[in-house]
Structure 1
Amino acid sequence: MSVMGDSNKLKRLIATIEAVCEAKGRTRVNGAVASERTFRMQIEVMKQFARTLHDKGYIVESCENLGERHANAVFDSWVHEKELSNKTLQNQKSRVKQFMHWLGKPNLADYVSRIDERYVDKLPQGFRVKTVAEESKSWRGAEVDIAELFSKARELDSRYAAMLMLERAFGLRKKEVLLIKLWKADKGDKLELVGEITKNGRYREVAIREGEYGQMQRQILDYAKGKCRRWESMAWPDVTLAQAEQRYYWLNRQLGLTKKDLGMTGHGLRAGHAEDIMLLRGVLPSTLGGTKDMASERGRTAARYDASRTLGHNREIITSAYIGTESNKPKPNASLGHRFGEAIVGFGEGEVLLWVSEKPEPVEGRPGESVLPREKAQLAYVTAQVVLDGREVDRLSVKQLVRKHRGIFADVEDRMQTIGLTLLAGE
């Protein structure tokens, strides 16, 4: 299973790796048969290991000769040069460790299990992956203009731009957006995902919502359908899935859609969709500064379940990776969105600041004015922050604010109207 361009010595190393995987990798630790996908991923990681090793000048021809210095060279490259994500590093470490056990080198396997200690200066937490989002991973947290992002993507590749739009509007994974056959999946009031394109082959429906948000979803769906023929998937028709994934990642880098450049990745569009679902249900997720007290338990539970189901997760807790966990205390790093209007004073101690989750857009021909158009108004969540001497002393929804201070209604309504909201719409 060699690749054109590999040297003969590298081919021999890969052949010994494949032989070990073939002999040991078909059966799980518990005796069950490993899936073909798991088996192939194991081989692929070890091929990456072999190629990286040779690239670094270690011309090993048999995996029997692997040792600690070889593991160090490979992981040094993955951490410092390729700067792989913690999630990827964790996966690579797990598979390399497993391979060393198959190879009959338990001491080397133990060494690999601790190899992240080698990078404590760069990665103080090791390769561990945070399973709960503390900050927004979407365009909101990164303060990215989503419309401008899509416009620039269209200039690069209109089919690629359609993929990004689908990820935002329907919360699709990268593999799903590449393999989905839109003409078949479009059921009018929902997008249907079936078969192997989804994670674990789990059937899923993504609803087309009511109101302006649903109109946005429909417009994106129709635009994307215009980029492919009726029988085609969204992936470019002249490439394999692996090649399509590489082109997708390459275009992301050209667009700057990386943590390093824009502060978010393509997956952040899926995270943003999870936030959308919460906001459409009138619940501010903790990644955007929401707390338990700002919505009823019933409302929070229903919103989180809706977001979980839409993303294709059976367990609601997994959705915490996108929208955080519920807490009585505000997340210290969470942005409340965009400040608007003058501070309100005269209601207890301190002053009241108003924030909106969506960024208002300038009104053409009316300098200094901005509004929340289209689906942004439907998504808008207004948060009231009570500040005393520059320090937050309370945080509540605008609905809670006007209930707590009856006389503040007119001041709040006046400020909300400046961005095109009514108090009822912003509750």
Structure 2
Amino acid sequence: MIKDKLLEIIHANAGTRQNGRVASERTFTARKESLQASFKQLAELGFKLQEPANLQEKHIKALMHYWIYKKQAKPKTIEASLSNLRIFATWIGKASMVKSKLTYVSKEDAHLLRVEAAARAPKSATGNRVDLPQVFARADAVNRRLGLILRIEVAFGLRREEALKCRPHAQDFTQFLRIDKGHGKGGRERHVNTLTSAQREILATVKAEIPKGEALGWPLTRDGKSAANLKQNITRYNNYMRQIGLTKKDLGITGHSLRAQFAENNALVHGIIPPSMGGAKGQMSKDRLRTILLRPSENMGHNRPNVMSAYYCSFGKRVSVDDATIALTIIDKALVLLAKVNLPEVPEHLKDDCHKVRGTLEECGLEITLRQTHYLWVQYSMRNGAAWVHPEHELAICMQSAAIAVAQSDAFNEIKGKTDKRPIQPGEISVSRQGNLTL
């Protein structure tokens, strides 16, 4: 049967990448599933191929027409499927058979295949008004190990499989979390720098609950009778995500949105406020921006800084000469709003941290009270999935991100119009912006 013959070709070739290196399990599986889907669709379109090697250019044209006009697949999905067919063609000795994607459409329809590199809207949980502490609490209630997995995804930007395979004790090198070779996309090893107290606290929590030598994924199947493999863990993870409503349909985000959350948080501690968070598009020169973006890009497992626009939206082309002034202006606007409401007292154990942040801003000429400092820093901390992040890196940038969130909050405008004198609690604005997520 053609299915069996197709599998023979895939298993004989898909284990090796185009550069000759061994392909990761993820790459092998994705390529196999893509090719199987393409041949299945050909059969549904009425092409009765007896041999996979009989694939011809007319079949590629038919598939492209189906994907573009009938299925209306996303350009990136079409590009990936066509790329896998191009690789398959080299396996069967027809390297030149699959043409460039624009060959299969008219000039008028070229826009249907245009891949937008930069995101047009925030992809992160916070950017979609989803409250992380509530998500963690809901996950914990369903399955505590799921809650730990989601925390690691936010803290270190791990992909789903990377999180499931992660052995927290073995991969923690204090200053960074190592993503082992073969675990990540492309099979590359990478280091994710540990820069915040939220990262350290989350990792400590995970290590305290996961036995040494054990991965984060579930060691046993749900019935507890046998060892679970990766495929079973992925299925279980996906089922739990649907159960807690962490899906595009329910909350507008997926597990990958937690990686986008890390991308934004990581940008802040490197001195950048992404446009996806309301940061100025021309906040620094292009050369300086590219240099800084290289660091969060490497933490995410990418080698090209421009890839980060897929998480951050476009930084634009305008160059600002004074991004510090932009930051202080935005914070000052939030302070005008905060001055109109009754903020809570600062807890005694957090006063030293608040004085540190306040002192940094006052050195720049900004007048801010300790209560206002505390309130804004809580907003920043919550986006890290933590109750409090100790101030260490780029304090003005982190405060600016919180100020933007406050200034843009519809709920805050409602709160400040109330006549009661009760204190506005830390996190109240963020929580009240979150749609219908309730525990």
Q: Tell me if 1:290 matches 2:304.
A: no
1:181 to 167, 188, 205: 167
Tell me the distance in 2 between the aligned counterparts of 1:250 and 1:76.
33
| TM-score of the pair, normalised by structure 1 | 0.62
Tell me the distance in 2 between the aligned counterparts of 1:260 and 1:165.
22
> Secondary structure at the residue paired with 1:222?
helix
**What is the aligned partner in structure 2 of residue 248 from structure 1?**
237
Q: 1:147 is aligned with what amino acid? A: P
Contact 1:205 1:310 in 2 (8 A): yes
Q: Tell me if 1:219 matches 2:201.
A: yes
Give 1:170 shift. Answer: 1.2
Contact 1:26 1:33 in 2 (8 A): no
Contact 2:76 2:115 in 1 (8 A): yes
Q: Tell me if 1:316 matches 2:315.
A: no
**What is the aligned partner in structure 2 of residue 368 from structure 1?**
none
Moved more, 150-159 or 246-255: 246-255
Tell me the distance in 1 between the aligned counterparts of 2:278 and 2:13.
49
Structure showing the higher strand proportion among its residues: 1
User: Which runs of 5 or more structure 2 residues have no equivalent in the other structure?
Assistant: 220-226, 320-329, 340-375, 408-422, 428-439
Tell me the distance in 1 between the aligned counterparts of 2:118 and 2:149.
26
Cα 1:373–1:68, aligned 2, differ >3 Å: closer, same or farther?
A: same
Tell me the distance in 2 between the aligned counterparts of 1:171 and 1:185.
14
Give 1:165 shift. Answer: 1.0
Give 1:65 shift. Answer: 6.6
Tell me the distance in 1 between the aligned counterparts of 2:101 and 2:283.
46
Q: 1:313 is aligned with what amino acid? A: H
Pairing of 1:155-170 with structure 2 (within 5 A): 155-170=141-156
Cα 1:68–1:261, aligned 2, differ >3 Å: closer, same or farther?
A: farther
Q: Tell me if 1:17 matches 2:31.
A: no
Q: Higher RCO, 1 or 2 (CA under 8 Å, sep at least 6)?
A: 2
Q: Tell me if 1:235 matches 2:228.
A: no
Cα 1:376–1:189, aligned 2, differ >3 Å: closer, same or farther?
A: closer
1:152 to 138, 146, 154: 138
Give 1:359 shift. Answer: 5.2
Cα 1:296–1:174, aligned 2, differ >3 Å: closer, same or farther?
A: same
Tell me the distance in 1 between the aligned counterparts of 2:317 and 2:74.
31
Tell me the distance in 2 between the aligned counterparts of 1:208 and 1:26.
33
**What is the aligned partner in structure 2 of residue 398 from structure 1?**
none
> Secondary structure at the residue paired with 1:306?
helix
Give 1:185 shift. Answer: 1.6
Tell me the distance in 1 between the aligned counterparts of 2:142 and 2:93.
49
Number of residue pairs matched?
348
Cα 1:359–1:420, aligned 2, differ >3 Å: closer, same or farther?
A: closer
Give 1:26 shift. Answer: 7.9
Contact 2:169 2:213 in 1 (8 A): yes
User: Which runs of 5 or more structure 1 residues have no equivalent in the other structure?
Assistant: 1-11, 331-335, 345-355, 363-371, 388-416, 422-427
2:157 to 168, 171, 181: 171
Moved more, 192-201 or 231-240: 192-201
**What is the aligned partner in structure 2 of residue 307 from structure 1?**
296
Q: Percent identity between the aligned chains?
A: 27
**What is the aligned partner in structure 2 of residue 404 from structure 1?**
none
Contact 1:133 1:320 in 2 (8 A): yes
1:380 to 394, 399, 404: 399
> Secondary structure at the residue paired with 1:259?
coil
Tell me the distance in 2 between the aligned counterparts of 1:279 and 1:45.
37
Tell me the distance in 2 between the aligned counterparts of 1:107 and 1:201.
28
2:315 to 322, 326, 343: 326
**What is the aligned partner in structure 1 of residue 411 from structure 2?**
none
> Secondary structure at the residue paired with 2:182?
helix
Tell me the distance in 1 between the aligned counterparts of 2:234 and 2:47.
29
Cα RMSD for the two superposed structures:
4.9
Tell me the distance in 1 between the aligned counterparts of 2:404 and 2:9.
61
| TM-score of the pair, normalised by structure 2 | 0.61
Q: C-alpha deviations, 1:257-293, integer Å up to 9, x for none?
A: 3334322222221121121122234532122222255
**What is the aligned partner in structure 1 of residue 343 from structure 2?**
none
Give 1:318 shift. Answer: 2.3
2:267 to 273, 278, 283: 278
Give 1:45 shift. Answer: 2.4
Tell me the distance in 2 between the aligned counterparts of 1:383 and 1:254.
33
Contact 2:17 2:23 in 1 (8 A): no
Cα 1:307–1:220, aligned 2, differ >3 Å: closer, same or farther?
A: same
Cα 1:251–1:81, aligned 2, differ >3 Å: closer, same or farther?
A: farther
